[in-house]
């Protein structure tokens, strides 16, 4: 049933590591006068650090709400990445199309599912470009697109594509932190991460490489309200979490996982990283990698846009 909704018969599409290759667009485009975007092919497992094989607690909570809307229909997890949402949704038995521009990230999705004994029998993974979703009009019951719109220079085009593939009364669900959610008790954490990040760019600046953030602002709600009706739902949740520098920040920086690192050449990146780490060792001693920050993650706002 899923196969029939695609513009091209999947049986005629190359499949690599259980991922259908439905786009030949590059992983990232940064110098176009038209559409620019960032994919995470080069980042891979460094993006999520030590959490890359776990089921994120917030995504698990969100998947319960998603299931209420998907029912027996089809969910499109657009820019599914390493499966933070796809895998919890698959665990609940949903039919899911996971789409991303990065084969590497989706291979990590498969690994995450295997680690957690989650079947992907009802999941179809597709390399696709969110600017040109390879799915027929009005074929999808629910779409989520977690943490992707800010990585595309014309995100309204992605919203238009989401609208196109949704059935009448289909929903596009977005998740945001509720006010009051945040961190505390992380002074050493912030000191260390701030020092490392500053020293990293200090080194690069000396050799003529300037920090440039590839992230585009977008009034998501304002634009979506021109096409959809909107309803907000609060997911009541309270979760305490402790994170060390070596858990996520350091793996992400080391793998060039911040948007400003996108154009930094590998050789210069390694040199800058070594310079920054040595500076941190000198200032804080060897224990800085274990400096931690505590989070109290509270309610989640689910914005449901209905076609």
| Domain shared by 161 and 138, yes or no | yes
- Other C-beta atoms closer than 10 Å to the C-beta of 226 total 8
Same domain, 199 and 58: no
Q: How many domains does the chain have?
A: 2
CATH code at position 26: 3.40.50.150
150 and 283 both lie in a single domain = no
Residue 49 near residue 84 (C-beta atoms within 8 A):
no
Q: Are 114 and 248 within one domain?
A: no
**Residue that has been written with the tokens 């594509």 in this structure:** 161
- How far from chain centre, in Å, is Cα 216? 15
Tell me how far apart the alpha carbons of residues 307 and 304 are, in angstroms, rounded to a whole number: 10
Same domain, 16 and 146: yes
Largest CA distance in the chain: 60
- Same domain for 125 and 264, yes or no, is no
Q: pLDDT tens string for the chain (307 positions)? A: 577 899 999 999 999 999 999 999 999 999 888 999 999 998 888 889 999 999 999 999 999 999 999 999 999 999 999 999 999 999 999 999 999 999 999 999 999 999 999 999 999 999 999 999 999 999 999 999 998 999 999 999 999 999 999 999 999 999 987 766 666 777 999 999 999 999 999 999 999 999 988 888 899 999 999 999 999 999 988 888 899 999 999 999 999 999 899 999 999 999 999 999 999 999 999 899 999 999 888 889 999 999 9
Q: What six digits make up the tokens of 65? A: 């709400």
**Could you tell me the two tokens for 261?**
């690192």
Same domain membership, residue 155 and residue 203: no
- Asked whether residue 147 falls in the same domain as residue 177, the answer is yes
Whether residues 202 and 221 fall in one domain: no
CB atoms within 10 A of CB 189: 21
Nearest of 189, 191, 187, 198 to residue 276 by alpha carbon: 198
Please give the pLDDT value at position 237: 85
Show the domain range for 192.
183-211+244-292
The closest alpha carbon to 87, from 68, 67, 114, 69, belongs to 114
Q: What is the DSSP string of 161-183?
A: HHHHHEEEEEEEEEEEEPTT-EE
pLDDT computed for residue 1 by the predictor? 59
Determine the pLDDT at residue 149: 94
Task: Specify whether 157 is located in the same domain as 195.
Answer: no
Same domain assignment for residues 122 and 221 = yes
| Same domain as 139, residue 77 | yes
């Amino acid at each position: 049933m899923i196969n029939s909704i695609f513009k091209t018969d999947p049986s005629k599409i190359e499949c690599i590591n259980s991922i259908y290759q439905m786009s030949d667009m590059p992983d990232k485009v940064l110098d176009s006068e038209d559409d620019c975007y960032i994919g995470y092919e080069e980042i891979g497992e460094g993006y999520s650090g030590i959490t890359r094989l776990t089921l994120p607690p917030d995504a698990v909570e969100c998947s319960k709400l998603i299931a209420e809307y998907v029912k027996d229909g089809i969910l499109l997890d657009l820019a599914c990445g390493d499966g933070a949402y796809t895998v919890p949704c698959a665990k609940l038995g949903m039919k899911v199309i996971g789409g991303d521009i990065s084969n590497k990230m989706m291979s990590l999705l498969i690994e995450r599912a295997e680690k957690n004994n989650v079947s992907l029998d009802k999941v179809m993974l597709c390399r696709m470009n969110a600017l040109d979703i390879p799915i027929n009009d009005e074929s999808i019951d629910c779409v989520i697109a977690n943490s992707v719109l800010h990585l595309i220079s014309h995100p309204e085009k992605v919203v238009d594509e989401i609208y196109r593939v949704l059935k009448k009364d289909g929903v596009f669900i977005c998740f945001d932190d509720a006010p009051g959610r945040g961190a505390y008790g992380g002074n050493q954490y912030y000191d260390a991460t701030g020092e490392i990040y500053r020293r990293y760019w200090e080194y690069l600046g000396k050799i003529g490489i300037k920090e440039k953030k590839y992230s585009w602002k977008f009034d998501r709600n304002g634009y979506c309200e021109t096409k959809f009706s909107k309803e907000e739902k609060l997911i009541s949740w309270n979760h305490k979490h402790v994170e060390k520098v070596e858990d996520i920040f350091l793996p992400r920086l080391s793998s060039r996982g911040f948007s400003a690192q996108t154009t930094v050449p590998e050789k210069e990146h390694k040199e800058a990283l070594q310079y920054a780490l040595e500076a941190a060792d000198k200032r804080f001693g060897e224990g800085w990698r274990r400096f931690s920050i505590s989070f109290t993650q509270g309610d989640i706002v689910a914005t449901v846009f209905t076609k």
